[in-house]
Amino acid sequence: MKKIIAEFKAFINRGNVVDMAVGVMIGAAFKGIVDSLVNDIISPIIGLIAQEDFTDLAFHFWGVELKYGAFLMAILNFFIIAVVLFAIVKMMNNLQNLGKKKVEEAPAAPTTKICPHCCSEIAIEATRCPHCTSEL
């Protein structure tokens, strides 16, 4: 039993499990913010422009009410979340790269050379020119 508890403790203390838990919690809080943005700000603005509340749009089909307006708002909600997350990730990447100095790459060693006899480009390891067959 002690071994199982120790394994569980090691599992919980792994960095990726804790990071994932924090990410899920922040995601849930962020969802509330974005839902409020869509439902309380963007939807009324769209409703003002279209003169209709999209969340109330529905289609009646064989006695069933299909709420396609709520579905459209969920799609809009998804795109807003995607755009905001993209902006946040891009901003975080820029902040991480801000303090780093750009490492200049050393020029690559040449892989070819010019034959002194026929002026053809040949591999640097070549001991004989493939064009004029002269020894190098």
DSSP string, 36-83: HIIIIIIHHHHHHHHTS-GGG--EEETTEEE-HHHHHHHHHHHHHHHH
Q: What is the pLDDT of residue 1?
A: 83
- Global pTM reads 0.47
**pLDDT band per the 50, 70, 90 thresholds, residue 43:** confident
**pLDDT band per the 50, 70, 90 thresholds, residue 124:** confident
Q: What is the pLDDT of residue 132?
A: 84
Q: What is the pLDDT of residue 17?
A: 72
Q: What is the mean pLDDT of the chain?
A: 81
79, two tokens: 């795109």
- Whether 15 has a pLDDT exceeding 70, the answer reads no
- Whether 12 has a pLDDT exceeding 80, the answer reads no
Query: pLDDT, tens digit, for every residue of 50-74?
Result: 777 777 778 888 888 888 888 887 8
Read off the pLDDT of each residue in 102-119 and give the average, rounded to a whole number. 80
Name the percent of the chain lying above pLDDT 70. Answer: 95
Question: How far is the C-alpha of 98 from the C-alpha of 28, rounded, in Å?
Answer: 29
Q: How many helices (H) and strands (E) does the chain have?
A: 4, 4
52, two tokens: 């209709």
CB 115 within 8 A of CB 122: yes
What value does the CA radius of gyration of the chain take, rounded to a whole number of Å?
Answer: 31
